[in-house]
Amino acid sequence: MRTGWLPWAAALLGLLSFLLVRESLTDDGYITLAYAKNLAVHGEWALVPGSVANSATSPLDVLLLGLLTFATRISGSAHPVFALGVLTALTSGALGWAWLRLTHRFRLAPWVALLGVVLVVANPFLLSATGLEVLLVPAILLWLVVFAAEGRPVLFGVAAALAVLTRLDLVVFVAVIGFATAGIRRHFWRAFATGIAVAAPWFLVSWFALGSFVPDTLVIKQAQSDLFGKWGYFTGPMMYFLIQPVAVVFTFAAALAGVVLLIAWAGVRFARRWDGFPALAPVAGLGAGGVLYYLVYSMLGVGPYHWYYVTPVVGIGMFAVLVAGVWLTEATERPAPHRGAPLAALGVVGVVVAGAVGVDLAQGVPWRSPVVFGNWASSTDYARVGRELGARLDGKSVAGPGEIGTLAYFCDCRILDVFSDRSQVAPLVQRRIAGASGVKSFALRLNYRWFDRTQPKRRPDYRLLYGEGPATGPDSWTVTSAAKGVGHFTLLPEG
């Protein structure tokens, strides 16, 4: 059966998902877009013009967006949001292409692969974080599985490098999938050397030129863990369930099914049943990597930001679809087919996907606000405030209110914030090093070896503050948020 349409269908689904959410991008998504715009227009690795920073979690995402944004300048102006739409379609197409390869490898039914694509593209938590690297992650993870399953250590090394350039924490998946696959273990040094050769140039530039090997985001987010009160990463799904139970169910259910299938697969594997069962070790590595990733993040002490859950959820969810699809193929080819169990598993995933699509469409077409949202203002209100703020400042600097991405993108002004001003990162680093010991202290000192931890804090000319209720005076803007209601921003001189 022909399956060449899968990448094209996936790209179309990705484009449609972008058109659904493009008017409701979150503040953190605009952080990435602001980095891409500054890279394309000014040639700077910066959130705001003229201030080098290292708070972009995903270097590969920024580089790709920056390249596409630079290409849009043929019209005379940079268009990062348009570039994001192009990248979303291309990444979705790459995801579909990976499913196509796995369809041929494991003799999957095409509808199973399409189900796997929609499971990712329609995920409400993923769509609520569009602009971040949330779609790039599952595409690269699936290509890791493809190259591992095909026994291609060099290409696996390339994919591994792209994975850690997308998010350094994806090294968890790289290690688990590589270790689980005999063909990669036997040629470990070829894969390892390739990965180092591809990834090292960026990390060396980051270490020497930007002052840290690992982006500042980890230190910043660990310092902000108290924003969620008693909730941490491990218990975060329950926090979201209390707020939006339907969205949480249709986001996490496939991953929970995947955990059950992972346990069942391990039992079958060790019991040496089903001699004809395909070599699913790389696929199992994808599921096990998702579980381990969740546990590692739970121990890191970061807050339950909703985009942090996308990686383990889609990783384990894709594992569930793959295992159930292969199981169905094997059952169908037996003389006396026993297809009930795999069909039931895929049926559960199908219900989850249908529910996720329902949650997405119930939010409105197009979205005015993401399903999962906590910002002080809608993206349209932030855009209005940002443009007017830039004109009002006339080149002077302002201390940010705590959310900076959308304001920085539309303001093109000097907003000083821990994400844009590294003099505010310095005390965080100092406190983390002072409170660490042993290996953790050594790792922090090594990471920030070339970073000036003694630099004085920059003094802004103004301060932008957020408050509840409508604006009441001059230099004040009323905003609305689906999460916070009516509020306002006020610009005050820094005394």
Q: pLDDT for 125-136, tens place per residue?
A: 999 999 999 999
Place of tokens 């070896």: 449
Element (H, E) at 217: helix 217-223
CA distance 375 to 211: 30
What number is the average pLDDT over the span 474-483?
Answer: 93
Shared domain for 138 and 40, answered yes or no, is yes
Q: Cα(first)–Cα(last) distance of the chain, in Å?
A: 71
Question: Same domain, yes or no, for 324 and 350?
Answer: yes
Same domain, 385 and 432: yes
Residue 26 has pLDDT above 90, yes or no: yes
| Within a domain: 455 | yes
User: Does the residue 469 lie in any domain?
Assistant: no
**390 and 336 in a common domain:** no
pLDDT given at position 453: 81
Q: Is the pLDDT of residue 153 over 90?
A: yes
Q: Is the pLDDT of residue 337 over 60?
A: no
The pLDDT of 273-278, averaged and rounded, is: 50
Looking at the fold, whether 66 and 107 belong to one and the same domain comes out as yes
332, 362, 392 - which closes a domain: 362
Residue 358 sits in the same domain as residue 383:
no
Averaged pLDDT, 440-445:
88
Kindly report which listed range (247-261, 339-353, 408-422, 451-465) carries the lowest average pLDDT score. Answer: 339-353
pLDDT for the residue 203:
95
Q: Do the domain assignments include residue 485?
A: no
Residues 347, 393 share a domain: no
DSSP conformation class of 226: G
| Average pLDDT in the chain | 91
Residues of the chain above pLDDT 90, percent: 74
Any domain includes 207: yes
Name the band, by pLDDT with cuts 50, 70 and 90, for residue 222.
Answer: confident
- Residue 83: what pLDDT? 97
Q: Which residues are 493's β-sheet partners?
A: 462
Cβ density class 302-320: b for 16+ within 10 Å, e for less: bbbbbbbbbbbbbbbbbbb
Residue 319 has pLDDT above 50, yes or no: yes
Band (202; pLDDT cuts 50, 70, 90): very high
Query: Same domain, yes or no, for 319 and 395?
Result: no
Residue 253 sits in the same domain as residue 385: no
- The pLDDT of residue 339 is 66
Q: What is the tally of structural domains in the chain?
A: 2
The pLDDT, as a whole number, for residue 36 is: 97
Which of the residue ranges 57-66, 300-309, 336-345 has the most confident prediction, judged by mean pLDDT? 57-66
Angle among Cα 75, 80, 84 to the nearest 5 degrees reads: 120
Segment 296-305 mean pLDDT:
89
Q: Examine residue 1 and state whether it is found in any structural domain, yes or no.
A: no
Q: Are residues 172 and 286 in the same domain?
A: yes
For residues 300 and 411, membership in a common domain is answered with no
Say whether pLDDT at 195 is over 90.
yes
Q: Please give the average per-residue pLDDT across 300-317, as a whole number.
A: 93
Q: For residues 203 and 213, what is the distance between their CA atoms, to the nearest angstrom?
A: 6
Residue type, 435: G
Indicate the pLDDT class of residue 336, thresholds 50, 70 and 90. Answer: very low
Q: Is the residue at 482 inside a domain?
A: no
Residue span of the structural domain in which 438 resides: 379-461
Q: What is the structure's pLDDT at 463?
A: 95
Instruction: Indicate whether 478 belongs to any domain.
Output: no
What's the whole-number mean pLDDT along residues 151-177?
Answer: 97
Which of the four pLDDT bands, split at 50, 70 and 90, describes residue 265?
A: confident
Which pLDDT belongs to residue 403?
93
Place of tokens 């922090």: 444
Of 317, 332, 362, the position where a domain reaches its end is 362
Same domain for 252 and 280, yes or no, is yes
- Give the per-residue pLDDT at 436: 83
CA dist., res. 45 & res. 493, Å (int): 29
pLDDT given at position 102: 96
pLDDT band, very low/low/confident/very high, at 112 (cuts 50, 70, 90): very high
